[in-house]
Structure 1
């Protein structure tokens, strides 16, 4: 799913969305594995989606040696390894640690940071956010309080183009044209040099609010506080930390993620359903130069491929021949899915196979689609789309998400009826 869409201003929270958690956060990580039907699952956090080629090779080794051989990209630019055997945790941790992918074992699940993947490569943004990314990750790993964040809490660093605005992050820092940075929650301007520390302070304000209200909240909307209330808490903590700030409205403008092709001199590809074979991953790594950037839209950007446009075009052609999406008009840019059967016991259908058959049958669906194997809708995007949810009886329910004032729904008795059911949403 590549399209980004506006979201409510200032990331305001709402009592109607508050959630009561009666258990601890079981979000998987690199050290806390999740038991799935196809084996254990590990989720490796990659702040900003940035990987050196050496780290990418290490992940490929881990996938082949311990997992099912594939690398699964998430909607936060992270990587999941699936099909892991029980008891492999120590070996996996050693592999990741040696590659520099575990800078702090106590913080490995809270290093959830997305960042503008084209930052520093062209003129669309106001600032290269890579220094912010490094500083924020370092501060997170040094913060005792940050260990209390859930594995779902999300930071976003936007270089000013607005591509992070539709991702629903809990804390957003966005570069401003005047050289400063906009921070939410709080909706304030801070100095660029203070931006990473201000982001951490905002997260610590969230933790403080959760403790004060006796809530076990994983994300900002679950606190049940209004945007104004949360803003006051953040501003108070900024004052306490000596971080200067002034009121500033949310910057206008929302941008999409990078399309497939050659963008700002970099090679950009989309990964169908976010799944890369070992062969495809090796191909990306071999062409990458010094680093890869994984995007929240299940894409990969290679910032430096050769020294000429011809070399970049040749690399793009090789990746297309390997099965990656290089055409910005590909229907796969508008189709996503959870893991489904057989990997998940809760799924009612093999949604990935059904999604692929639908794309083969109709091409571009015209509307973004997200296929879910059950009502949990794991990985569902926050942007406008049609959700295709498998039901216990084997049929599918289609509905617009988020639901508007006049919700539209349709049913398909089997996957072959999906194209006809979609007509209800395109009319």
Structure 2
């Protein structure tokens, strides 16, 4: 890997970024998937060269935190098991998100993985694409019932069937539930992605690093016309992507192949220790296909488990400290690193989230809540139903999601303690049940 890494504030596998609790290494996983052998290597690297803290991210990747001076040894141990990019400069642009159940989902229209492999090969191998921002991201949706459809992407593609033919709807700077800019034949999916990336790099000014920035100068229709010069594009008048359940990443769920399920488990607040990751990898080796799939919900799936083994796998995961039931309050909470590990964090979001989860569990309510230590919202790429934005240690402003308002939504109350937040959410839940 001779290519030099460009400067960036985003961590990567080959670029370890400092934080209050030590260095951060981000390991990008193709389609969120990692083999048992690779997972064992991550656990070992976190144990030997860092604090042992491993995070599942909201883009289905992994991070190792608390890295000390042995950065080269850590990187080498991960490269040795094939967790690196094809080229050093290609690490930043491996931002392609799939459904965690790609290829095994009962409702999928097609298996996205071969096309994803083509796209990833192109963005890593073509030097011109290395100029893309480390945050520039693409989503490829195969119509799966388990799919994160709320994370905005610079380009999204979503499969649908029309008159017996598979096509890919696509959109810019949004989500698959948005109105598409158009559609292409399934066989033109790779060419469309290449055309979009090339056109973006041609049109964008240096400060325009994301598609939403470009659209302020170039309307979607103008870009669509330019793309149609490279790829045949059709209008999409009467199609819209319908979301599935947001709880399908927790517990055992049937796969397309009879007698097999995937088992989803949530590490508390997205954080694993080496024993958890190693134990899950061992279970995947014993009862699955020797792979794990990480999800945009900061959880992990064990695919291809025989249905008769599901209950045993769940019990073993729970003994490791992972959650496999959707009615656990802690499984519905998201929290960033907070002031213990980040200089921008104004509160100990992880500790406060544990306190809030205990209070909500006592009250019998399990809302989806996001705790953010600052306005950057590193832990959540989407807007949660309820967001707590830290203003001081142990104190938060509370926002309710509102489609008419940007960011976290509508500000509901200021400077609340965790106890006050729990009481307010409890009262809101009770009033909605009584309505």
Decide: shared fold, TM above 0.5.
yes
Separation in 2, partners of 1:53, 1:124 = 27
Separation in 2, partners of 1:413, 1:254 = 33
1:246 aligns with 2:240: no
1:261 aligns with 2:251: yes
Task: Write out per-residue CA displacement over residues 136-191 of structure 1, whole angstroms, 9 at most, x where no aligned residue.
Answer: 11111112221011111111111113724321111111111231222223722222
Higher strand fraction (1 or 2): 2
- Is the 8 Å Cα contact of residues 201 and 238 (structure 1) preserved in structure 2? no
Residues 224-373 of structure 1 aligned to structure 2 (within 5 Å): 224-225=215-216, 229-240=219-230, 243-249=231-237, 251-257=240-246, 258-263=248-253, 264=255, 265-288=261-284, 289-305=289-305, 308-363=306-361, 365-373=365-373
- Is the 8 Å Cα contact of residues 341 and 347 (structure 1) preserved in structure 2? yes
Separation in 2, partners of 1:224, 1:365 = 41
- Is the 8 Å Cα contact of residues 110 and 151 (structure 1) preserved in structure 2? yes
Q: How many residues align?
A: 396
- Is the 8 Å Cα contact of residues 329 and 367 (structure 2) preserved in structure 1? no
1:223 aligns with 2:214: yes
Separation in 1, partners of 2:108, 2:328 = 26
Q: Structure 1 residues 125 and 233 mapped into 2: Cα distance closer, same or farther (>3 Å)?
A: same
Instruction: Tell me the CA shift for residue 235 of structure 1.
Output: 4.3
- Is the 8 Å Cα contact of residues 192 and 227 (structure 2) preserved in structure 1? no
Match of 1:28 in 2: 11
Q: 1:191 aligns with which of 180, 185, 191?
A: 185
Q: Structure 1 residues 195 and 354 mapped into 2: Cα distance closer, same or farther (>3 Å)?
A: same
Give the SS at the match of 1:254: coil
Match of 1:114 in 2: 97
- Is the 8 Å Cα contact of residues 290 and 304 (structure 1) preserved in structure 2? no
Separation in 2, partners of 1:401, 1:197 = 37
Any gaps of 5 or more consecutive residues in structure 1? Answer: 1-22
Q: Structure 1 residues 217 and 393 mapped into 2: Cα distance closer, same or farther (>3 Å)?
A: same
Give the SS at the match of 2:191: helix
Match of 1:376 in 2: 376
Match of 2:177 in 1: none
Q: Structure 1 residues 190 and 69 mapped into 2: Cα distance closer, same or farther (>3 Å)?
A: same
Q: Structure 1 residues 224 and 201 mapped into 2: Cα distance closer, same or farther (>3 Å)?
A: closer
Q: Structure 1 residues 235 and 254 mapped into 2: Cα distance closer, same or farther (>3 Å)?
A: farther
Separation in 1, partners of 2:56, 2:94 = 16
Separation in 1, partners of 2:340, 2:105 = 42
TM-score by length of 2: 0.84
Separation in 1, partners of 2:7, 2:428 = 39
Task: Write out per-residue CA displacement over residues 266-304 of structure 1, whole angstroms, 9 at most, x where no aligned residue.
Answer: 111122211011111011101113211111111111112
Separation in 1, partners of 2:388, 2:365 = 12
Q: 2:108 aligns with which of 125, 144, 156?
A: 125
Q: 1:418 aligns with which of 405, 421, 434?
A: 421
Greater shift, 228-237 or 271-280, is seen at: 228-237
Separation in 2, partners of 1:278, 1:268 = 18
Separation in 2, partners of 1:192, 1:403 = 32
Q: 2:129 aligns with which of 123, 128, 146?
A: 146
Give the SS at the match of 2:149: coil
Any gaps of 5 or more consecutive residues in structure 2? Answer: 1-5, 173-179, 256-260
Q: Structure 1 residues 132 and 348 mapped into 2: Cα distance closer, same or farther (>3 Å)?
A: same
Separation in 2, partners of 1:286, 1:386 = 36
Q: 2:152 aligns with which of 146, 164, 168?
A: 168
Give the SS at the match of 1:133: helix
TM-score by length of 1: 0.86
Separation in 1, partners of 2:43, 2:191 = 33
Give the SS at the match of 1:417: helix
Q: Structure 1 residues 404 and 333 mapped into 2: Cα distance closer, same or farther (>3 Å)?
A: farther
- Is the 8 Å Cα contact of residues 326 and 332 (structure 2) preserved in structure 1? no
